Structure 1
Amino acid sequence: MRLWVSFKKRDVFEEDASIDVRNQKGSFAIKVKPSSKWTDRNVSRWKAALREVANLSGEVVLGHETSILEKIVNTIYKKLGSRDLHLPSNITGMATRYEGIKSWFDQSNCEFLAVYGMGGCGKTTLAKYIYNSNQKSFNYVSFVEHIGSRCEKPNGLLEVQKQLFKDILGGGKRKIPGVFQGTPMIAEALQKKRTLIVLDDIVGHSQLVDLLGNGDINTQSKIIVTTRENTDNWLDFPHSRCKKYAMRLLNDNESLQLLCRHAFRFENPKEGFQEVVLRAVHYCGGNPLALEVLGSSLFKSDSIQYWESQLRLLERDMDSRVHGVLIRSYTSLPSETVKKLFLHIACFFNGRDEDYVVKILEPDYSAISGIKILIDRCLLSVSPNKELIMHSLVEEMGKYMVRQESHLPANRSRVWDSDDSYKLLRKGMVGFRTVEGLALDMNMLSEENFAIRSPKLKTNALKNMDSLKLLQLNFVELDGSYENFSEGLRWLCWLGFHLKTIPSDLYMGHLVAIDMSYSKLEVFEPPMVLQSLHILNLKDSHDLTEIRNIFNIPHLETLILWNCYSLVNVCSTLGDLTSLALLNMTGCNALGVGDLTKPIFSFPSSLRQLFLKYRYLKCTDSIPLSFSAQLNLQYLNLGDSLFDSLPCYDHLENLRVLDLSFCYRLKCLKCLPNTLAELNVYCCESLERITFQSPRFTLQEFVYLGCTNLYKVEGFMKLVPIAKLNETKLGHLKWLNEYQKHKVCLVGADELTVGRSWHIKMLYEFGIMSTSLPDIKDPNMTPEYISESSSLSFDVPSGPKNKRLKGINVTFKYSISGDDWAFFCKVSTSNGVLDLMYNPQVYGKPKFGELCIWLSYWPIGYTLKYGDRDNVSIVVLSGLEVHECGVSLVYSDKETLENNMGWAEILGGDLSEFQLSTGGYYLCRRDFFRLIGAKRPTPDWFRILVGDTINYTEVTGWRNTGRPKHVYPSFAELKTIGCIIHGPQLKKRVGESMSNAFDSGESKSVVNYEPKGGKKIVLAVKLDHIHLKRKFLKVASTVTGVESLSFDMSKGELTICGGHVDPIVVLSRLRKIGYVEIISVGSYPRRLAKQDDEACSVM
């Protein structure tokens, strides 16, 4: 039997020993004594073997023998076996996440990489993937797993230190005697060795210090830490730097792929399993561990019924493997108070507005600091809309912890399930004094309980809940006395409250928030002084006519009266409230309808957000709109109103957002404050002009679609028909008046093209005048310099006597050769003084086979010197074919030209926001790079335009609309104001209920009332994947004012109905998921898309 052994060989020669080996000289010479038993054959075989060895590629080493031997030993140690860690073949999504980390290995001054996230999200798998991809580049490597759990055991930390120390040294006999000696020994070794280290599942700063110390680390080493904690503070070593990476959960496609790999051993579900697989994906919420466990448990199961049964089981009782990973994050929380806070959020407040939750839970649970701890432990996150987001598996883990308190809901601290709560209250069970929170929503009862529900429940069922702090009774009718309600209540959410007034025996002394949306209240009057009440929500209380004695709520901060359209009287003391910051009176259409000469009430000076969006609002004495005393106003919504003008608001220096959408009669806005960050004038059809305190345009968001008569926005643009410009305005282009009746279809910005006439217009922006013309033959159109290509160069002549060069006309003729039409005109000088790249917001679209002319005037004559070499070029993105390019010089009398102005001032003032790092100016208000993903190459047209020295990312973001580099902090906060305008709990329920309606293809009413009036928006929808429809509808349902949805899959149309739905908000949210366009709004389908009497396809 012959045994074959696989091995690697590497020859090592000292100095020039390879020559002696090949020729058998020196110590390698073979001398055979006569008495030797060696034969000639033996000698020949040895010589041949030595020659073979000498001819192999090897390494010649120099130096001391000890160092040579150490090098050889280390090489053999590394080659003895593969150092790769085991990774399953069906991992998903790691390569894409690694792409965002690879650059870290090239950063010489950044030694630490902290990968953090919730349990089971794939942190360890990603660390192994990174380790396997890079371990060959390091002399020494170490992967230490499960540090957190190992350190909990006796001598656990010492064992971890020993493993790490041994790996850094590459073996060796040195031993660590104890933990205190181990830390400096490891730190010393790290200063000398170039090592790749992974420390998996670190818990807290102290463990990291025990392992690495606080000293210097070899800058060539790389240390990866995985942890469940957001590592803001405890990775700040004195001489080291850290890159943080928040572990991203799997997206829908990755989740589907991973689940199917485990369940079917394929990447796609079996025929007929698509729907149940999507339910399973949704349940796991992108958590890889949950997907693997669930997929493996369903492997080889061909029964859809089994899948559905397994999902129902998991929704009631989480798998022990997933639960075991998640529960460690809960048990490690630092105090019982934080644990209680976590359980309250998991059971009642997931998806709620952060400020709303803080107000309610701060008095008893120090919610401000507690929420930060939960965020740091990756148990909670805050969305861009300032909503508290808890992963569904973490939420389920919290509810599991509550269920472990007792098998009887009556003996638990929290009862959130409506069926459990209904049974407790219906049976009148007594003795559950442990309950701190209870939620009952009659609309969420199971079919069994819904069929047998009692019309009324007894108040006595709540009398023994002495510990009750959080109570939700949506659409519940109670009968009896309220005197035994818990006096410790902090939150009362009673949607659909059935009484006409507040019971006088209901104790409200400690309430922080009251939500009685959709109530039957006719009069709201506090039964006592409510010192602790901060939030009062009476949204959609359609029978409410009067609010009395509001002064009994002295610390009220938020008052929501949205759609209380019967309200006619608000207590005059409203203006005396010193803490009221948010007032929403949208839809209160009965206010101000009577005597318009007397004020109904006054607004408090403390207001920061005010919503007065209702259809009969006018500038009258009954509701003064000057806001002279409300100097703290930051957000002002006066949309859908009937006024034709507004007072000057230049005194509102804190105003950041002004919403005037659907103000059809509004004609002009004057002297808006420069601090304004967002202006929404959507569908203000009569609006013509907007001016600011100073001419510089500083808006970060400007919504003006549907303003078909808007011709001037100061500092932004002016678009005027030639017929409305006199000869003085046109200057040397006055000959254009002859063509004022000609028509050209304009394309570009929808806001300036859709719904407007085709008559020739002049566009003013950045100080440049431009217009689009049909292919006319006019002597004035003959340029001095002409080229049949897309570029030309010319030398500036001396010019006529007593004349000064004022500027240049640039023209070019073009035709359509594709579906997209866009271009830049570039004007530069060879000496580098001038480099302008301009993309007009609108330009002409010729008919197929015809030509169009773009004519522009650039007032840059003062910068052009005699003899300068000037270059003009037209850079086409796609879709246009340039036939001719020309330039003419424009002169004026010397005394008429302002020779003390720089060209930047002439071109519209300060253009620093548009300046590139090369010094040139990218004068463009459109984002041509919105769909280009990260790491994509820079487009060819952009490199032609600006050169090879900058990347296209320099002109994305704020620059494409001329926004300031730094956003207003308060504006960023105000962008999330929609979260608390309406009842937060209803929003969550609406999303869930509408999702069910969407999946079944039906439109359902979510709450127990019929909306009276409102908007109907029809959208054209295109989704890349069918499984996105649930997510699509959930996002749509969160838009303020949405009351019902219906979706026609065959037509690809989504219909949204609601009292006050903003179509722009709908578009901005849904376009993040798929293609969406408005087909019609309200009762005027295609109103905005109307064009003269010809059809024009718009970009």
Structure 2
Amino acid sequence: MVINFVLCTIYLSFTQPHSFHVTMTSSFSSGSSSSSSSSKPWIYDVFLSFRGEDTSKNFTDHLYFALKDAGINTFRDDNELRSGEAIQKSRISVILFSRNYANSRWCLEGLVKIMECWRSCRQLVFPIFYDVDPSDVRKQTGSFAEAFAGHEERFVLQTDKGKVATWRMALTEAANLSGWDLRNVADGHEAKFIKKIVGEISRELSSTYLFIAFYPVGINSRVQQLNFLLNAGSNEVCIVGICGMGGIGKTTIAKAMYYELFHSFDGKCFLANVREISQQQNGHVKLQEQLLFDILKTDKIKIGNVDRGMNMIKERLHSRKVLLILDDVDKLDQLQAIAGSRDWFGSGSKIIVTTRDKHVLTVLGADRVYMAREMNDIEALELFSWHAFRTSHPVEDYKVLSEQIVDYCGRLPLALEVIGSFLFGRSIVEWKSALEKLRRIPDDQIQKKLQISFDGLNDDTQKDLFLDISCFFVGMDKEYVLPILNGCDFFADIGLGVLTQRCLVSVNEKNKLIMHDLLRDMGREIVRAQSPNNPGRRSRLWIREEVADVLRRNMGTEATQGMAINLLKGNDMKVDLNVFCNLQNLRLLQLNHVKLAGGCEYLLRKLTWLCWHGFPLSFIPDGLYGENLVAIDMRHSNLRQVKNSKFLLKLKFLNLSHSHYLSRTPDFSRLPHLERLKLKDCRSLVEVHHSIGYLDRLVLVNLKDCKQLRRLPSSFWKSKSIEILYLSGCSKFDELPEDLGDLESLTILNAEDTAIRQVPSTIVRLKNLKDLSLCGCKGSTSATFPSRLRSWFLPRKILNPTNLLPPFHVTSLSLRDCNLSDDALPRDLGSLPTLTNLELDRNSFQSLQRSLILIYL
């Protein structure tokens, strides 16, 4: 049974902040609507609840003007009918409890509404106890007892008594919150008391309100996903990383998550620009001081040095439940200085780290990592439209252009915002010109943001590795590219690991190297900027027109390390091979379907990759052979023979597929480290050199559709390294020798559509064989399989003890279109223990054996 798993990608997006002001009122309308949804924008910073008769002309008046002077937009409203709406649209409620506060039914109704918003909308609530004991408010004693005695005397109906109970509960809840008591602050001096309150409110506003985004495009799913990873309701100290390439919205996600959660924590801190600040003098100390200041709400803390700061964080915060965001971290020492251990923080604390480098999260021991992805097509077009048109969709005449630009941006939020804003209000002609320019020269603002990751790479080998991939190898197989770049002394295995951890390169499910288009363009722009006006002085060339110009005019220099041009077959561009005399540092060369004139006498010693599809000559000039060559790819060549007078000790890949005139292979003794040989569709090939059997690293041989090939040299069948052998389409290949059983590493044998008449009995020795395909082998209608085939498919425990053979572990067996009849198959074929795929269609069966039927039950 085969089970296919479908992996679903969840696309998540962005939101915007709310705006804030302050309102002030002494009343509340009981007929106002219910508490607002958290998705509504805040209109006011502060709602001030007070008993007008007690304080409106003294303390409240002074507090109002102090808030206004502090830059908090204050709105004074004594209209009771508007207070319910004001409460809902305020971010903070300040309740001024005075002696006669509870005498006002409007104050109590307003208080109930405030506490509803506190519970449901994450509104902050701060009580002020003005000439009243907090316990009187909490327990409704003293003057509050007298007020409630009057209320209960007036209210005799059961519904009214329920309302009184609600008032009592609201008073108790509010009085239990952290606030200010005039008697215990500033020795009762009102002016100092008000200054203290304004300072605390201002600090709370500045630490709470984070600008998130100008235009929201569906933040909820992203926040929900991250909230799930945080396990926000648990008591564990949880560390979650948000990882992704630059410009993908990591900071936006973190801000939205902070805004979602901050109300549930004793202390909260959003440390922005950690990477940038840490590079300043005493940067780590500054970050530590900011953390303690934001959470402890005390005067500016002076630490002195990092070690002292680490101890102070642990001593002062170990019992506090905190929410800490560390934004844009790129080094482990930054994390160690600020959040070095979970026991530095109290139970239930949550730490979110945004980074481009997944490795720092691994070393830190993050509990979970959220990989930020680019937006989906619908979200990307909407975000772009908000910036380009100030609407949620493109203007009709601009729709096609908008889709093209969104495609160019690769659904990266940063690019959508920058380019959308740049194009706002411009004509279609300007849009087309801008898009054409962007395809050649990336936007500088986007380039600088993305290049931060490149600049942060550890050394030049990693930077060269990234530039080579971005210019030449995007979309190619990882196992093909890494040996080439290792041949350039770039330590590519560890280097690719670093690039992957830093979200600059990734490897897809097909093992291909992939890179976001804008990251690719960023790398290419770094190279272009090396010499904007003279391509011949750049380290890498990949633009067709520029490469052609350099070759035609012989403008190459020693600065050129890589060159690639991919022309269509039949192009008449001609190159004199002597142009390479000036390119002695050339490591990577691709000249697909470029024609030649003259010869090359100067050896390209540093060349590691030679890709020349459609190579026009019948032989390879000695000048193109270099001792550092790792891969030669000359598909569709005119080669008739491959003679090499030099040992190519580093060559691992040789691909001469579709070379229709090639009749014989090279002498492999001069290619001792060859690992992969591809000669697919070499229609004239009649002989494979006997030295192939002595290649002890050769793992793949592809001879598909070599229609003149009848057999392989006897030495080949002695190989201990061959894992994959393709013979399909070799219509004259008629024999698998008994030595087949000596290919002990063979895992895949594909011999479809050959003339093979007999499968040798020694195949039972191939204990690693997983995939066997003999489809279309019609060399014999009755003797395709040996008499002992029956024993291949039996587990070890069933075999005759006197003739033990290893069990046959084939998982895929293809016998389609082989002219097989009922008696051509072994009776116990269905007993194969590992078989998951069996193809028997287009044969001459009258019925299926019972053992075969059982396979499908």
TM-score by length of 2: 0.72
AA aligned opposite 1:20: G
Query: Mapping of 1:769-848 within 5 angstroms?
Result: none
1:528 partnered with 2:640: no
1:512 partnered with 2:626: no
Cα 1:599/1:244, change in 2 over 3 Å:
same
Partner Cα distance (1:122, 1:377) in 2: 15
1:189 partnered with 2:316: yes
Q: What's the counterpart of residue 616 of structure 1?
A: 731
Residue 421 (structure 1) aligned to one of 524, 547, 552 = 547
Matched-pair contact (CA < 8 Å) for 2:330–2:360: no
Matched-pair contact (CA < 8 Å) for 1:495–1:518: yes
Matched-pair contact (CA < 8 Å) for 1:474–1:495: yes
Residue 21 (structure 1) aligned to one of 143, 146, 152 = 143
Matched-pair contact (CA < 8 Å) for 1:18–1:54: no
Cα 1:182/1:231, change in 2 over 3 Å:
same
1:145 partnered with 2:272: yes
Partner Cα distance (1:357, 1:152) in 2: 35
Partner Cα distance (1:287, 1:245) in 2: 17
Query: Mapping of 1:243-262 within 5 angstroms?
Result: 243-262=368-387
Cα 1:194/1:271, change in 2 over 3 Å:
same
Query: Which sections of structure 1, spanning at least 5 residues, go unmatched?
Result: 30-50, 445-449, 720-763, 767-839, 841-1099
1:319 partnered with 2:443: yes
Matched-pair contact (CA < 8 Å) for 1:525–1:550: no
Residue 582 (structure 1) aligned to one of 683, 693, 700 = 700
Cα 1:645/1:87, change in 2 over 3 Å:
farther
Q: Give the SS at the match of 1:530.
A: coil
Give the deviation of 1:352 after TM superposition. Answer: 1.4
Q: What's the counterpart of residue 95 of structure 2?
A: 9
Cα 1:335/1:600, change in 2 over 3 Å:
closer
Give the deviation of 1:660 after TM superposition. Answer: 4.4
Cα 1:476/1:56, change in 2 over 3 Å:
closer
Partner Cα distance (2:251, 2:212) in 1: 10
Cα 1:9/1:566, change in 2 over 3 Å:
same
Matched-pair contact (CA < 8 Å) for 1:471–1:489: yes
Q: What's the counterpart of residue 911 of structure 1?
A: none
Higher relative helix content:
2
Residue 269 (structure 1) aligned to one of 394, 397, 406 = 394
Which has the larger displacement, 677-686 or 152-161? 677-686
Q: Give the SS at the match of 2:328.
A: strand
Partner Cα distance (1:277, 1:581) in 2: 49
Cα 1:219/1:654, change in 2 over 3 Å:
farther
Q: What's the counterpart of residue 679 of structure 2?
A: 561
Q: What's the counterpart of residue 339 of structure 2?
A: 212
AA aligned opposite 2:737: P
Residue 99 (structure 1) aligned to one of 180, 205, 224 = 224
Cα 1:215/1:112, change in 2 over 3 Å:
closer
Partner Cα distance (2:814, 2:348) in 1: 53
Q: What's the counterpart of residue 238 of structure 2?
A: 111
Q: Give the SS at the match of 2:654.
A: strand
Partner Cα distance (1:657, 1:75) in 2: 76
Count of aligned positions: 681
Q: What's the counterpart of residue 538 of structure 2?
A: 412
1:57 partnered with 2:170: yes
Residue 743 (structure 2) aligned to one of 612, 623, 630 = 630
Partner Cα distance (2:547, 2:693) in 1: 41
Matched-pair contact (CA < 8 Å) for 1:496–1:516: yes
AA aligned opposite 2:135: E
Give the deviation of 1:678 after TM superposition. Answer: 4.2
Give the deviation of 1:272 after TM superposition. Answer: 4.6
Give the deviation of 1:231 after TM superposition. Answer: 2.8
Query: Mapping of 1:269-348 within 5 angstroms?
Result: 269-303=394-428, 305-348=429-472
Residue 499 (structure 1) aligned to one of 617, 640, 649 = 617
Report Cα offsets for 1:480-526 as digits up to 9, x if no partner: 22221422211111111111122245433221111110100112222
Matched-pair contact (CA < 8 Å) for 1:565–1:588: yes
Matched-pair contact (CA < 8 Å) for 1:458–1:478: yes
Report Cα offsets for 1:723-763 as digits up to 9, x if no partner: xxxxxxxxxxxxxxxxxxxxxxxxxxxxxxxxxxxxxxxxx
Cα 1:543/1:603, change in 2 over 3 Å:
farther
Give the deviation of 1:269 after TM superposition. Answer: 3.3
Matched-pair contact (CA < 8 Å) for 1:236–1:242: no
Give the deviation of 1:554 after TM superposition. Answer: 1.4
Give the deviation of 1:456 after TM superposition. Answer: 2.4
Cα 1:524/1:236, change in 2 over 3 Å:
same
Give the deviation of 1:189 after TM superposition. Answer: 2.9
Matched-pair contact (CA < 8 Å) for 1:582–1:607: yes
Cα 1:692/1:631, change in 2 over 3 Å:
farther
Query: Which sections of structure 2, spanning at least 5 residues, go unmatched?
Result: 1-60, 62-74, 79-85, 87-92, 98-128, 151-163, 186-192, 794-806
Q: What's the counterpart of residue 128 of structure 1?
A: 255
AA aligned opposite 1:112: I
Q: Give the SS at the match of 2:396.
A: coil
Residue 356 (structure 2) aligned to one of 224, 228, 238 = 228
CA RMSD for the aligned pairs?
Answer: 3.9
Partner Cα distance (1:184, 1:512) in 2: 54
Partner Cα distance (1:316, 1:505) in 2: 34
Cα 1:317/1:603, change in 2 over 3 Å:
farther
Residue 675 (structure 1) aligned to one of 809, 812, 837 = 809
Q: What's the counterpart of residue 797 of structure 2?
A: none
AA aligned opposite 2:467: L
Matched-pair contact (CA < 8 Å) for 2:238–2:351: yes
Residue 652 (structure 1) aligned to one of 744, 766, 771 = 766
Partner Cα distance (1:466, 1:164) in 2: 55
Partner Cα distance (2:351, 2:765) in 1: 55
Cα 1:424/1:66, change in 2 over 3 Å:
closer
Query: Mapping of 1:712-727 within 5 angstroms?
Result: 718-719=852-853
Q: What's the counterpart of residue 607 of structure 1?
A: 722
Identity value in percent: 31
Partner Cα distance (1:428, 1:288) in 2: 42
Which has the larger displacement, 516-525 or 261-270? 261-270
Give the deviation of 1:63 after TM superposition. Answer: 14
Cα 1:634/1:384, change in 2 over 3 Å:
same
Give the deviation of 1:459 after TM superposition. Answer: 1.6
Report Cα offsets for 1:518-575 as digits up to 9, x if no partner: 1001122223222221111001111111114222211111110011112111112222
Give the deviation of 1:645 after TM superposition. Answer: 6.0
Cα 1:232/1:367, change in 2 over 3 Å:
same
Query: Mapping of 1:840-859 within 5 angstroms?
Result: none
Q: Give the SS at the match of 2:323.
A: strand
Give the deviation of 1:398 after TM superposition. Answer: 1.1
Give the deviation of 1:371 after TM superposition. Answer: 1.2
Matched-pair contact (CA < 8 Å) for 2:329–2:355: yes
Q: Give the SS at the match of 1:368.
A: helix
Q: What's the counterpart of residue 698 of structure 1?
A: 834
Cα 1:547/1:367, change in 2 over 3 Å:
same
Give the deviation of 1:629 after TM superposition. Answer: 1.1
Q: Give the SS at the match of 1:457.
A: strand
Q: What's the counterpart of residue 16 of structure 2?
A: none
Higher relative strand content:
1
Matched-pair contact (CA < 8 Å) for 1:264–1:300: yes
Report Cα offsets for 1:163-207 as digits up to 9, x if no partner: 211122244564433333222212233311101111000011111
Give the deviation of 1:405 after TM superposition. Answer: 1.5
Partner Cα distance (1:469, 1:598) in 2: 35
Q: What's the counterpart of residue 752 of structure 2?
A: 639
Q: Give the SS at the match of 2:351.
A: strand
Matched-pair contact (CA < 8 Å) for 2:708–2:730: no
Q: Give the SS at the match of 1:192.
A: coil
